[in-house]
Structure 1
Amino acid sequence: MFRSILSGDMPRSAVLSILLAVIFACLALAPFLFPGVRSIDTAARICVFIALVASYDLLLGYGGIVSFAHTMFFGIGAYGVALALTHMGRGFDAIIVGSVAGAVVAALLALLIGLFSLRVRAIFFAMITLAVASAVAVLASQLSGLTGGEDGLTFKLPRELGPAFKFGTEMFGGELFGVKLNGKLLAYYLVFAGALVLFLLLLRIVNSPFGRVLQAIRENDFRAEAIGYRVVYYRVAATCLSAAAAALAGSLYAIWLRYVGPDTTLSMELMIDILLMVVIGGMGTMYGAVIGATLFVLAQNYLQNLMGAASGLVEGIPVLPQLLSADRWLLWLGVLFILSVYFFPTGIVGRLRSGR
């Protein structure tokens, strides 16, 4: 059964299997295991970034295509939901229309970029995507009448996804294991289910004949072309699928935040974060997206607090309190990244599988 759900792509490592099972259980039961606003927000972000990083790994890890426009597609999906909820009202029909429209627009834009750019060498394609993504980010900042400009858009979700909505009052008294049964809980599980479905779909794609051809093109595009595969068509198709998946992940992010702005969905810093997650987890392994996104988001949210606690413990020892100061958490995050690349050159998943 699990083999079928995972499209035959088993972890192939006992340690990796345990890690994936623990992450899945923690995310599935996050509201009950880790009560608190910050914990649930962290879990929701992990879910969204797992789907986003997996969609980028389809492009980079399996197709060998370097693109800097992935946050653009992510932002298109987020703005699609925001605009639909703003102009159509706070209904589930607006969420569906916004999500589908965002995915379609992202796929069409990826098609245009791919058809005109994927015939050139990788570095030139990367530069073209960077230029297009930068232009879209500038447009989102300047078209304040449509996108809210630098301030972004704040919108209302359907009442059923808001904290004021209560359910289970008759059966459970409005609480289950000390957790309030409200719309915020439903919103979390909507994000969790959406990210899970996206991840499993991407896993199915990379383990299909299409995914095998992509890997062949990544290894040797001249040989793939020689045996009859239209390399450009496969690369364009991969770019469109990756863009649509990223847009759907952006829709989930907008639903969770109830806000969309250039800094949250279109920034270059976010693109760098996605690259780091792919490298840490392992390129060309969908499970790398799970490990990389989980570790990176946890580090972003809790490393500063851990360093503050560590700094207090070594108080009185020369130099160490300054080195472990919470203000230097970005420095240590960079050090951790360098160490992970040095000790895990194929990513954590690649190392675990080879260690088997």
Structure 2
Amino acid sequence: MLKSLFSGSGPGSKLLIALALIVFLGLALTPFVFSGTRAMETAAKIAIFIVLVASYDLLLGYTGIVSFAHTVFFGFGAYGVALATQRLGSGWDALALGTLGGVILSVVLAFGVAMFSLRVRAIFFAMITMAVASAIAVLVSQLSWLTGGEDGMNIKIPRELTPAFRTDLEIFGTKITGRVLNYYLVFFSAFALFLLMLRVVSSPFGRVLQAIRENPFRAEAIGYRVVVYRTVATCLSAAIAALAGALFAVWLRYVGPDTTLSAELMIDILLMVVIGGMGTLWGAVLGAAIFVLAQSYLQVLMEQAAGATAALPLLPDLLNPDRWLLWMGILFILSVYFFPTGIVGRLKAAK
């Protein structure tokens, strides 16, 4: 079964397999290996962003569709959970209904955008999706009676997933609380969604998508309906992004325009795809892990480095934690220069 799953979509390099295993084991064991809430927050964010970035790679890397509306579907999933729990309470049925509603709305919007836009050239499709994303973000901000506006919404979740829920169970010296259960809900859901996407890209459907990406005219000539395949890929990508948004809402217990619909988030997704490598899915694993870790800990590392070099001229100023975005930009430029096909692409080429 595993051989069938990874056929044509496996890591393809021993070093890449090792890195993927490190990420998997790190995420799987975070509550028991790393102390404090920050490590678990970072690990949960990595797991969610792996799914979100991989779903975008399914669209960009495998189908060749450039979209700037992917955060809209992520936001629909999050707001679906928020609205359902606000009206129906904090039960599991509300979570399920909100998630389903967010997925359905995302698929409907993706289908509409695809049917109206996928027949135009790539740059015009990208501009249309950018306009849709901007319009949705403005709409969500203005409908404060429904969405909470700029202030966002707090989310009610089952008590079993909150820090207040405690059990007598202890594993490796760590008490199993609702926060730990919430983390593993996110982790296993993200893992299952990633395996689903691997299965999709290794299937005949996934190979047709890659053929369309390489030469849509030839794919059309040999009998494949390019618009249909692109529409299905767009809807599938939107559904998975909505599920990632629902997981994000359940974990964060808050949703707002800045956390789910911002242009900055769309740029972050693009950066993670480019850093990891387009058209691989495994690039989402490494790209998300590296980017989120840098976001979470680069300032801390820079503060320590600035303190260690305090006696030297100029260097402490350059390593000032307030300049972490500058160093993030430099790291991105270096990654593009040395890994033009992404980390995964470079590792596969060097195997």
TM-score under structure 2 length normalisation: 0.98
In structure 2, C-alpha distance between the alignment counterparts of 1:3 and 1:12, rounded to whole Å:
13
In structure 2, C-alpha distance between the alignment counterparts of 1:320 and 1:272, rounded to whole Å:
29
Report whether the alignment pairs 1:209 with 2:185.
no
Return the offset for 1:7: 4.9
> Partner amino acid for 2:77?
G
In structure 2, C-alpha distance between the alignment counterparts of 1:204 and 1:103, rounded to whole Å:
20
Return the offset for 1:8: 5.1
> Partner amino acid for 1:268?
A
What is the aligned length?
Answer: 351
Structure 2: stretches of 5+ with no match in the other structure: none
Return the offset for 1:179: 1.5
Structure 1: stretches of 5+ with no match in the other structure: none
Q: Does the residue aligned with 1:353 lie in a helix, a strand or coil?
A: helix
In structure 2, C-alpha distance between the alignment counterparts of 1:217 and 1:8, rounded to whole Å:
17
1:157/1:258 contact within 8 Å kept = yes
Which residue of structure 2 lines up, in the alignment, with residue 225 of structure 1? 220
> Partner amino acid for 2:94?
A
Report whether the alignment pairs 1:184 with 2:179.
yes
In structure 2, C-alpha distance between the alignment counterparts of 1:215 and 1:123, rounded to whole Å:
19
Return the offset for 1:99: 0.8
Report whether the alignment pairs 1:96 with 2:96.
yes
Return the offset for 1:5: 4.4
Which residue of structure 2 lines up, in the alignment, with residue 288 of structure 1? 283
Once the two structures are superposed, what CA deviation does each residue of 1:84-122 show, in whole Å capped at 9, x if it has no partner?
Answer: 111111011111111111111101100000000000000
2:42/2:293 contact within 8 Å kept = yes
Which residue of structure 1 lines up, in the alignment, with residue 73 of structure 2? 73
In structure 1, C-alpha distance between the alignment counterparts of 2:242 and 2:7, rounded to whole Å:
23
Once the two structures are superposed, what CA deviation does each residue of 1:121-140 show, in whole Å capped at 9, x if it has no partner?
Answer: 00000000000010000011
Report whether the alignment pairs 1:267 with 2:262.
yes
Q: Does the residue aligned with 1:181 lie in a helix, a strand or coil?
A: strand
Once the two structures are superposed, what CA deviation does each residue of 1:32-63 show, in whole Å capped at 9, x if it has no partner?
Answer: 01121000000000000000000000000000
In structure 1, C-alpha distance between the alignment counterparts of 2:3 and 2:297, rounded to whole Å:
34
Report whether the alignment pairs 1:321 with 2:316.
yes
TM-score under structure 1 length normalisation: 0.97
Which residue of structure 2 lines up, in the alignment, with residue 140 of structure 1? 140
Which residue of structure 2 lines up, in the alignment, with residue 165 of structure 1? 165
Q: Does the residue aligned with 1:322 lie in a helix, a strand or coil?
A: helix
Once the two structures are superposed, what CA deviation does each residue of 1:280-333 show, in whole Å capped at 9, x if it has no partner?
Answer: 000000100000000000000000110111111111211111111111000000
> Partner amino acid for 2:165?
F
Return the offset for 1:339: 0.4
2:5/2:198 contact within 8 Å kept = no
Q: Does the residue aligned with 1:180 lie in a helix, a strand or coil?
A: strand
> Partner amino acid for 1:161?
L
- Over the aligned positions, Cα root-mean-square deviation in angstroms equals 0.9
In structure 2, C-alpha distance between the alignment counterparts of 1:200 and 1:10, rounded to whole Å:
11
- 1:116-155 equivalence runs, <5 A: 116-155=116-155
Return the match for 1:350 from 329, 334, 345: 345
Return the offset for 1:9: 2.4
> Partner amino acid for 2:297?
Y
> Partner amino acid for 1:164?
A
Report the identity percentage: 67
Q: Does the residue aligned with 1:120 lie in a helix, a strand or coil?
A: coil
In structure 2, C-alpha distance between the alignment counterparts of 1:69 and 1:8, rounded to whole Å:
29
Return the offset for 1:177: 2.1
2:44/2:186 contact within 8 Å kept = yes
Return the match for 2:333 from 338, 347, 350: 338
Once the two structures are superposed, what CA deviation does each residue of 1:228-268 show, in whole Å capped at 9, x if it has no partner?
Answer: 11111111111000000000000000000000000000000
> Partner amino acid for 1:142?
Q
Which residue of structure 1 lines up, in the alignment, with residue 17 of structure 2? 17
Return the match for 1:257 from 252, 255, 260: 252
In structure 1, C-alpha distance between the alignment counterparts of 2:37 and 2:310, rounded to whole Å:
31
Which residue of structure 2 lines up, in the alignment, with residue 236 of structure 1? 231
